[in-house]
Amino acid sequence: MDITSIIIVLFGSTFGLIIRMFIQNNLKINLGFNIQNTSIVNFIASFFLGILVSLNFLNNNILLLFYIGFLGCFSTFSSFIYQLFVLFQKRKFMRLFFHYIEVILLSFICFYLGYCLMKIFK
Amino acid sequence: MKIKNCIYIILACYAATFLRLLINNNLIVSIIGSLFFGFVIAKKISYLKEKIILGGFFSCFTSFSGFVYFLYKILNQGDWIKFIIFFNLIIILNIFTMYFGFWISRKIT
């Protein structure tokens, strides 16, 4: 990996980290049911991933910036597993099941929303 | 948050990003991430350390978008059964790995 690629990855990851921290600490969305901030971050990341996949980038630098740098640091899998782990520890198995189905379903809806939206505008 | 603390979090994020790039396998990355995440949450650590290790390092090390993209590639092949098996297997495996890390940490201390 050359210096330019490293700088691009660092640039993307810094933005991803800062935006995630901001959303996790400040954004509170109430849709009538409980959506945690980590899930919101992952839904937004899925939406951006849909856009990225739809654009079908062949440019390696854009992939490094958005997919590896930005989305890699913006979305968080370990926090999602931690949410499930807390429910597992509390032995709330039904809530655990519904939460993970809900996150996977909504993530894919966001992904396809981004994907289809970009296909329309292209 | 102080500037110095922000720099620590960003440095942890950079280290995690390059480690993720080096391993270059989403499943292995997620399992390692879950194991050590479980290990860390079992310990009583300060707010700053929690932000650096969990928010900075492990959140950047593991990637939800990589997981979604992996599932999308399976779904694109039209194999629904494989898709359902994989996403359940990955999540269950990661929960138990995190539990294992948590359990080891409790046993050590």
Contacts of A42 in chain B (CB under 8 A): 64
Q: Which of A10, A68, A77 sits opposite B67 (nearest CB)?
A: A77
Q: What share of chain B is helix, strand, coil (3-state, %, to 5)?
A: 85, 0, 15
Whether residue A73 lies within 8 A of chain B, CB to CB, comes out as yes
**Contact call for A85 and B102, based on CB within 8 A:** yes
pTM, entire model: 0.89
ipTM confidence: 0.91
Kindly report the average pLDDT of chain A as a whole number: 86
Reference A9, options B9, B20, B5, B65; nearest CA is B20
Q: Which two tokens stand for residue B91?
A: 């999540």
B-interface mutation test, from A7, A15, A17, A67, most B Cβ less than 10 A away: A17
Restricting to A residues 89-118, those with a Cβ less than 8 Å away from any Cβ of B are 100, 104, 107-108, 111
Cβ neighbours of A27 (radius 10 Å): 11
Contacts of A69 in chain B (CB under 8 A): 17
User: pLDDT for A33-78, tens place per residue?
Assistant: 556 778 889 999 999 999 998 887 767 777 878 888 899 999 989 9
Kindly tell me the burial class for residue A91, based on how many C-beta atoms sit within 10 Å of its own C-beta (0-12, 13-18, 19 or more).
exposed
The residues near A56 (Cβ < 8 Å, ≥ 6 apart) are none
pLDDT band at A100 (very low <50, low <70, confident <90, very high): confident
pLDDT band at A1 (very low <50, low <70, confident <90, very high): confident
Predicted local distance difference test score (pLDDT) of residue B4? 87
Reference A29, options A38, A20, A19, A21; nearest CA is A38
Give, as one character, the DSSP assignment of residue B63. Answer: -
The rounded percent of chain A whose pLDDT value lies above 70 is 93
Please report, for residues A32, A60, A92, A100, the alpha-carbon distance to residue B97 in angstroms, rounded to integers and kept in the order given.
33, 33, 18, 17
Please report, for residues A4, A65, B23, B24, the alpha-carbon distance to residue B19 in angstroms, rounded to integers and kept in the order given.
18, 16, 6, 8
Residues of chain B with pLDDT under 70: 1
Q: What are the two backbone dihedrals, phi and then psi, of residue A7, each rounded to the nearest 5 degrees?
A: -65, -40
Contacts of B103 in chain A (CB under 8 A): none
Contact A64, B74 (CB under 8 A): no
